[in-house]
Amino acid sequence: MLKLLLSRLATAVPSVVGVLIVTFMLTRLLPGDPAAYFAGLAASPQAIAEVRTKLGLDKSLPEQFVAYIVDLAHGNLGNSLSTGQPVAAEIVNRLPASAELTLVALFVAVAIAIPLGVLAAVKQGTWIDHLCRVVTTAGVSLPVFFTGLLLAYVFYYLLQIAPAPTGRLDVFISAPPDITGFYLVDSLLTGNAETFWSALKQLALPAISMAIFSLAPLARMTRGSMLAVLGSDFVRTARASGLSSRTVIFTYAFRNAVLPVITTLGMVFSFLLGANVLVETVFAWPGIGLYAVNALITSDYAPVQGFVLTMAVLYVVLNLIIDLLYGLVDPRVRLDA
């Protein structure tokens, strides 16, 4: 297992380096001049040149890149020109909001998609199977931002049963003490039921928007993988041996069908990390996605680079976790490594 982990880490390093280079170049190719933006509309060319020099934008691209790498080596992601705060501190403060939204959406998607996919495979051709096809088709057809806008319009504007899409808590509710950064967890740990229900209600619509987007590939892969395994020889042998249907399905079939589902789960989690940018914008969710969008609008390089680097590291960690899960579920993966 250690050899597998080290080999995956060795292959991940070039990916992170490539992300650093591409992100640095793309941010420099964005339209607009950050110096002119932050100097103001009435600024003179001399004032704009002074701002450009202060930001280090008067240097050549190789010099800027070397300075960026040196700052990264010291754990410095730079300062945001919009807020004046260190990017690393801003990302640390906002990351729990994005992580809470993503994890709750993934939990909802898994809780619906995997049982639905298993039932659709076991009850092939029935109404459950048709329902699974309808749900997966709708999930892949609806963009996540459109689903979010639709849910907000129906449940907040028309039915008025959902809170206003204005962040993680109602404006009249105080945030819980910062223990984990997850409002649901922190409110439970401190016994604050009012904050918990407020956070849950604010979280419901954005999490459902992302869950609808992600449950489609999970349900489809679960159904397809289960159908392939249910038609195999060892499952027919288990049934012929007199084992109960529950034992055959969950002990033999699902365990052998779960590896493709784990792969899809990792891909879905990666999609959700990207999709939360759109959902956070729709629901004014104060996460790193909204932070990156606001920085992109103002051509603020440091927050955009910090956001992409954070996402790249999260992807690498996620892939490592998936590889370790492979080894736990199927020991042959450890032997091959």
Q: Tell me which H or E stretch contains 281.
A: helix 254-282
Concatenating the DSSP letter of every residue in 21-84 gives HHHHHHHHHSSS-HHHHHH-TT--HHHHHHHHHHHTTTS-HHHHHHHHHHHHHTT---B-TTT-
| Structure token digits, residue 124 | 């092939």
**What's the pLDDT score for residue 100?**
92
**Smallest Cα–Cα separation from 55: which of 70, 72, 38?**
38
As a residue count, the chain comes to 337
For residue 77, the model assigns a pLDDT of 84
Please, which residues bridge with residue 79 across strands?
86
- Tens place of pLDDT per residue across the chain (337 aa): 566 667 767 777 787 788 788 878 877 776 666 777 777 767 778 888 887 887 777 788 888 888 888 888 888 888 887 787 888 889 999 989 998 999 999 999 999 999 999 999 888 888 888 888 888 888 878 888 888 899 999 999 899 898 988 888 888 888 888 888 899 999 999 999 999 999 999 999 999 999 988 888 889 889 988 888 888 888 888 888 888 888 888 878 888 888 888 888 877 887 787 778 889 888 989 988 888 888 888 777 888 888 888 888 888 778 777 777 766 766 655 545 5
The pLDDT of residue 308 is 84
3-state secondary structure of 86: strand
Identify whether the C-beta of residue 213 lies closer than 8 Å to the C-beta of residue 139. yes
Which pLDDT value is given to residue 335?
47
Q: What is the pLDDT of residue 111?
A: 92
Q: Tell me how many degrees the CA angle 332-333-337 measures, rounded to the nearest 5.
A: 115
The reported pLDDT for the residue numbered 316 is 78
Is the domain spanning 96-286 CATH 1.10.3720.10? The answer is yes
Strands (E), the chain: none
The pLDDT score that the predictor gives to residue 331 is 62
List, as one string, the DSSP characters of 214-242.
HHHHHHHHHHHHHHHHHTSHHHHHHHHTT
Where do the domains of the chain lie?
A: 96-286
Count of beta carbons in the 10 Å neighbourhood of residue 185: 16
Q: Against a cut of 0.85, is the pTM above it?
A: no
DSSP 172: T
**155, 202 contact by CB (below 8 A):** no
Nearest to 212 by CA among 108, 286, 127, 316: 108
86: left (phi over 0), alpha (psi -120 to 50) or beta: beta
Residue type, 79: N
Side-chain-facing half-sphere of 72: CA atoms under 13 Å: 16
What residues does 265 pair with on adjacent strands? none
